[in-house]
Amino acid sequence: MHNHRSWYRRLWPLWLLIIIVILAWWPGRSILMNTLTEREAQRIASITPDQGAATTPERLSIERIMADLHWLADAEREGRAPGTDGSQAARDYIIERFQELGLTPAGTEGYEQAFTHERVERAVNILGAIEGQDPTLRTIVITAHYDHLGVRNGQIYHGSDDNASGTSVLLEMARYFSENQPQHTLLFAALDSEERGLLGAHALFTSGHLDPKTIAFNVNMDMLSRNTDELLYAVGTYHHPWLVRLVQRVQAENGARIVMAHDRPWFKAGHTDDWTLSSDHGPFHEQGIPFIYFGVADHPDYHAPTDTSDKADEAFFRITAEATLSFTKLIDQVLSEKR
């Protein structure tokens, strides 16, 4: 007998590796995912200097935010599907507020930018601007989609967290900045047809209405009002690592628990979903515009008729709203100094 081993036995380290990979990934998928999210959360918590000392500032009215949330997610709005009476009512409500606050109309017809798409007959974005102190600076666009799924099989999909919540905060942030003039011009964009594939955000660019070169940054809000772990996700720091220290500052100042995740490839993220293109910040990212997206993890009422406004966690919602405002103020300041 010759003393040579068959080829497959010489490859034993490879077989071992394959077995380890299968064991680590396949059966333990969900376990791995939870572990990693929790580990990230702990890492974030550990860099917050003094959780006890941080108190959430009160610049936004949570009463007004909650009132807007209840109104937008009310059954009478019928889930705000594009082209419906409920959508029209929501649009009138947002436009009336923009008018009250003295926002400059920035649509194609007043505040409105109507568009069509093969997936939607007629949809309308609502755009209003607050002029910045420094006219040489580019625009910061603040987005939240106001549409939702509408009525399906006779059931109203209220879309309270998704995304009456972001729309309500957008309205209250418009109030704040109308009284506290920013450095950059801020464009407030309540977008339509996000649920049909980010159509409103795409239409900003495909129509030529917005020139990407004139935009400095996008802050997107989508689902801010509830989370059992009281965690808010900040998406975008993987693509723009210079944002990390800004998010850290927001956490330290607001007592918010923010996890920077859901924006990296699976081999770095341990199987957590990549949300880089999952909401209206996606088309901004595709245009090369830096962004941050604030939102919570999916919950059992996500895209269900049970996403109603009574489920909002007022205390948590106040923190996420203030954290989003803090970040927007910070990015306005930092980008005006950076030039």
Residue numbers of the site for Zn ion (CB under 5 A)? 162-163, 222
Nearest approach in angstroms of CB 145 to Zn ion is: 6
CB-nearer residue toward Zn ion: 178 or 320: 320
Residue identified by tokens 């919602």 is 317
Collect all residues with Cβ–Cβ distance below 8 Å to 114 and sequence separation of at least 6: 108, 122, 123, 124
Give the N- to C-terminal CA distance of the chain in Å, as an integer. 77
CB-nearer residue toward Zn ion: 201 or 243: 201
CB-nearer residue toward Zn ion: 162 or 172: 162
CB-nearer residue toward Zn ion: 165 or 272: 165
Nearest approach in angstroms of CB 222 to Zn ion is: 4
> What sign has the CA pseudo-torsion 41, 328, 322, 201?
negative
Nearest approach in angstroms of CB 162 to Zn ion is: 4
Kindly state the tokens that stand for 220: 């997107």
CB-nearer residue toward Zn ion: 211 or 298: 298
Residues 62 and 70: beta-carbon distance below 8 Å: no
Kindly report the CA angle at 332 between 326 and 335, in degrees rounded to 5? 130
Nearest approach in angstroms of CB 65 to Zn ion is: 17
Q: Which amino acid is at 266?
A: W
Nearest approach in angstroms of CB 269 to Zn ion is: 21
CA distance 127 to 102: 12
Nearest approach in angstroms of CB 13 to Zn ion is: 47
Nearest approach in angstroms of CB 241 to Zn ion is: 26
CB-nearer residue toward Zn ion: 182 or 282: 282
Residues 93 and 72: beta-carbon distance below 8 Å: yes
Crossing angle of helices 165-179 and 62-72, rounded to 10°: 140
CB-nearer residue toward Zn ion: 163 or 185: 163
Give the residue among 105, 126, 131, 101 at the shortest CA–CA distance from 115: 126
Give the bridge partners for 156, in sequence order: 151
DSSP H or E stretch at residue 258: strand 258-260
